[in-house]
Structure formats: structure tokens, C-alpha cells
Structure 1
Amino acid sequence: MNEGAADPGLYDFRPYRDRARIEWPNGKAVAVWVSPNLEFYEIDPPANPQRKSWPRPHPDVVGYGHRDYANRVGHWRMAEVMEKHGFKGSVSLSVALCQHHPEVVADANDRGWEFFSHGIYNTRYSYGMDEAQERAIIEDSIRTVREATGQTIKGWLAPALTHTPRTLDLIAEYGMTYTCDLYHDDQPAPVHVKSGRLVSMPYSIEVNDHYGFFVYNMSPREYAETLIRQYDRLAAEGESNGTVMCIPLHSYLIGQPHRIGPFEEVLRHIAADGRAWITRSGDIADHFLANGYDAVAADASRYAKADA
């Protein structure tokens, strides 16, 4: 039998039953965090030989203009609705936005939102990078966000979800405490890295608005109903062992006039339910590192011994 490439061993296997218990503050069942992707897309970026930035020949005015709606209109509409219902954003940030549209970054910072890095531009990919190039992007992200907001980033979501085999080790080496790049669970868990402690933060592909509208072709109402079903199930399961719900957003999508109303109903539903710890990703990571990390790591060793 051809076994293929070896399992990289990024995290331990733990069945979704009989796990060490995770508890959230004030007895809440599910930690809910909203992740607006505040991004900058170049209209005619340098070509990466492994992936084209735009489906049409460059410059793709349609793709660029659609996404630029986020920074000119969509962000403000989305942010006001979130603020109205008590949701602080955890921003997946294209850090070049700090120079291109500092007003957007300043608005999010003034609202008490957290920032983590989504690379420099969302039109430049990690494919083919050497270690020096990847380190330069991480260092640029830390420096630029600190200068623009006063915050030191704790987390990472790779640009356009593109990675190298060394990405997780490097962000842990630079002191980050969580990654949003593993999509494999509804609870946080330790990631195996060469140094430091790194948490896998649940970040959903399934209820990401990009997938909802571009991949699954949902209507605004269908997407809102999907988010409510996601929340209700995770809250019910979280009553016995704390879960995490992430709502990843792009304001050029969710901030459109015809979509924002159903989305506001989702926020109203979650805020009124009473089982949600409405928080930010870094706060979830901090709480888990202080209160759950060691127990979960020890719990995972049970299954490692069983498989030995």
C-alpha cells in the first residue's frame, strides 16, 4: 500500500467525546468571536508562478473594485451593526491596509477590535517563499500593526490561506499564541511547534461568508439561518464541554445593503441567547492557555498511548 507523505504531526488526535473539559468565563457554553477580514488587494500584483491573483487577465478591475467596496462602504456598515449588538471584531488584517487606508484601521482600533496578521497583501502568497522572506513578512506584520494601533499581534491567518511547512514554527518563535490556519475542530487545542506554546483557534471555512456566498451560493437569508443553526448546535454541545464559534466575514460581502439585515438578526439572536461568551480571539487564546491547555495536552496523550 502506498502510504503517501507522512503525517506532519501538527496536532494530536482526540475523538469528539470523552475529552478534557473546557470551561469559559461565567459558565458560558460557547465562545463566539467575529473575524472581519480587513484586506487590501492589489489591482495588478506581481505574478506568483503557483497561483494567479485574479481569474481575469490583469488588471482585473471587476475583482479589485468589488473588494475595494469593503474599505469604502462595507466596513462601516458591518462595524456599526456589530457595535450595536456588543460584538468586538478580531481582525484578520492585510497589514498593508495600515498604509493604504489608515482610516479603516483607526476606526477598528477605536472600537476596541483586536488585530492579527493575514499577511501583507491578500494578493501575495506564501507559496515558494524561503525562510528569510517569510520571516520578513512576520516581522513587518508585527512592526506595522504595533506602529498603527499600539497592539502586539497574538495570532496569524496566512495570506489567502497559503502556507509553507515552517509557518507555524516561525509564528510561535516570534511569540504569537494562536493560529487560525487549521480548521479541524470546534475547540481550541495545542499545536506542536519547535518553541513556545501555540493554540489552534477554531476558524470556520463552512460558515465563512466567502464560502457561503461564492461557493455554496446561499441567499442572505440562507446564510443567516446557517449561522443560527451553527450557533444553536455549538451552544448546546458547549453546555457539557466549551466550544468555539467563529464567524469569518468580508465586508464587501456581508456589508452589502441586501445582506446586512439578515446578518443583524444573527447577532441579535446570539446576544439574546445568554449562553455565549461574546469575545475576541486573543481573549479565547489567553483563557485557554491559562485554564485549559495543560489538561487538553495531557488528555491527548491518552490516545497517543493507545495508538502506540
Structure 2
Amino acid sequence: MIADPGLYPYRPWRNRPPLRWPGNKPVAVWVAPNLEYYELDPPPHPRRKSWPRPHPDVTGFGHRDYGNRAGHWRMADAMTKHGFPGSVSLSVALCQHHPDIVADANARGWEFFSHGIYNTRYAYDMTPEQERAIIADSIETVRAATGQTIRGWLAPALTHTTNTLDLIAEAGLAYTCDLYHDDAPTPVHTKSGRLVSIPYSLEVNDHYGFFVYNMSPRDYADTLIRQYQRLAAEGESSGTVMCIPLHAYLIGQPHRIGPFAEVLRHIAQDGRAWITTASAIADAWIAQQ
């Protein structure tokens, strides 16, 4: 049994110093498109199967590849139309497999952070040296492809070791999206460096919306609006964060993109949102500490 590692202090919501966002906006809204690459026939991992069917899982691979061939462009165009930059959770192997997508996101002014190399490679049981190599590869690959230096991390397929947060801080990264415990940024205790947890959502993640909760496109859009309205109201006393995590093979489907675009239009026209990136949220939070 692993004891509580003490990654972050317990700070009750009502007893915190007020947090303020630029322009005195009550809620910071950031969109996290997961631009991912899933291998057709990945190496097996003893703890977790990459696909529910025997490899090669053509059905699973093809469904996800739809996002890279068609869904990305619908999703990205809707975001651009309504003024939402992306903070890209990137399977960095996409830089080699589909460089056109990475170039498109970069041309739109989106930022990139690492989601590991492949979403079919898991961090369980990795040694610190293996994790350091993946972190270094992420930094170098994204810099070569985009000119950007990544500042954040979302573990591949949400898989971790007990060393992950210490190692990304050691490498100089500023934020993690791997803690789903709050509606505002929080400090993370690491052995070196300075790391902040930026709120990333499972509850309003389109994967959970469509795969786990079996929502219709309208149900999912309504959920996003209700999430936004509540966080904007609560943010009047102390700033909140709303993350909208997306997957192009899901939200970029023709029957889903319309209701989602209406959500973006609603938030943009409401006037209470600071529409921003994960890095900007981290910097604004750090400046107030």
C-alpha cells in the first residue's frame, strides 16, 4: 500500500486567498485538444491492454485515426472562429507521423505540452531513467517541430509512476495536468523545481461524455454550459478554471461539432471568461503567490 505522498497541501475552497485573473475575469477557460497517435499493433504491456480486441485492432485504430484525417480540422476551425487557442496535449510521435497537424496547430498559435510519445505506451513500471528519456524526447521533438519549448505534462494514457511529477519538475516543466482535484491551480510538492497543477477535467472531457456517460452531442454541450455558468459565478469571489479536454475523433465528428461550436460561441459572447492557455494560467497563478 502506498501512503499519501503529500503531493499538495489541503486548502479548503472557502479559506483561500482570493485569486484574480487578468481583466478581473472570474473564470479562466482553456481548451485542451488531445492530438494523439495510437499504434495499430503496439508492444504489449503486462499491466494493461492497448486495445480491447486482439492486435492489430483495425477498428480501434481507424476510429482514432479519423481525428487525424478529418476531425482535427473541424474542431480547430470551430475553435479559431470563436477565438479559442488550443493548449495541445500532444502524443509527440505525431510530429513524425502527421506533421501537417502539428504544423496547423502551430500556425494557429496554439501551445503544446507533452502527452507522452504514443498513447499506446504506458508509464507503469518505468525506471526513472526511462521516464527521463521520454521527457527529454518530448522536449527535443516538439522544439524541433514547432520551435516551442513545452512547459506542461499530461501522462500518456494517464499512466504514471511515483516519480513522474518529480521528474517533470526536474526537467524544468512548469505545470502538470495529471491531478484532477481542484477548480483552481494548486502548488505541487516536488523534490526540485517549481510545479503547479492546472485543472484538467475528466468530468467534462469529451471521452467521458461520449464513451462513459453516453451523452448525446446536445447533452454534452449543455453540460459544458452548466459547468461554465457555475464556475463563472463562483469565480466572482476567487478565480476559477474551466478546462475543456477534447479528442478530434470524437468532437470532430460531423454530428457533434455543431452543438460544441455553439458552446464556444456562448462562452465567448458571455464576457466573463478569460479565454487563454494553460501556460498563461500557470504564469498568472505564480505571479500571485
Other structure's SS at 1:92 match: strand
**Cα shift readout 1:79-105 (whole Å, capped 9, x = no counterpart):** 000000000000000000000000000
Check if 1:269 corresponds to 2:266.
yes
Query: 1:1-308 alignment to 2 at 5 Å?
Result: 5-291=2-288, 294=289
Gap regions ≥5 residues in structure 1: 295-308
Show CA shifts across 1:50-98 (max 9, x none). Answer: 0000000000000000000011000001000000000000000000000
State which structure, 1 or 2, has the greater radius of gyration over its C-alpha atoms. 1
Deviation of residue 156 (structure 1)?
A: 0.1
SS of match in other structure, 1:17: helix
CA positional deviation for 1:19: 1.0
Q: TM-score, normalised by structure 2?
A: 0.99
Q: Partners in 2 of 1:256 and 1:136 — Cα distance?
A: 35
**Equivalent-residue separation in structure 1 for 2:197 and 2:132 (angstroms):** 20
Shift of 1:18: 2.1
Q: For the aligned residues, what is the CA RMSD?
A: 0.6
CA-to-partner distance for each residue in 1:180-204, whole Å, 9 max, x for gaps?
Answer: 0000000001000011110000000
- Residue identity opposite 2:245 in structure 1: P
Q: Report the alpha carbon displacement of residue 287 of structure 1 after superposing the two structures with TM.
A: 1.2
Q: CA deviation at 1:232?
A: 0.2
Give the structure 2 partner of residue 301 of structure 1: none
What is the CA–CA distance in structure 2 between the aligned matches of 1:47 and 1:271, rounded to whole Å?
44
Paired positions, count: 289
Deviation at 1:131, TM superposition (A): 1.0
Moved more, 155-164 or 6-15: 6-15
- Tell me the distance in 2 between the aligned counterparts of 1:174 and 1:131: 12
Which of structure 1's runs of 4+ aligned residues deviate more than 6 A?
none
Q: Which residue of 2 aligns with 1:298?
A: none
Deviations 1:157-194 (A, max 9, x none): 00000000000000001100000000000000100001
What CA distance in whole angstroms lies between the structure 2 residues aligned with 1:154 and 1:22? 22
Gap regions ≥5 residues in structure 2: none
Give the distance between the partners of 1:212 and 1:25, measured in 2 at CA: 30
SS at 1:53 equivalent: coil
**Identity rate of aligned residues, in percent?**
78
TM-score relative to the length of structure 1: 0.93
Matched letter for residue 205 of structure 2: N
Letter of the 1:249 counterpart: L
The DSSP-based 3-state class of the residue aligned with 2:67 is: helix
Q: Distance in 2 between matches of 1:289 and 1:15?
A: 19
Per-residue CA deviations over 1:206-261 (Å, capped at 9, x if unaligned) read: 00000000000000000000000000000000011000000000010000000000
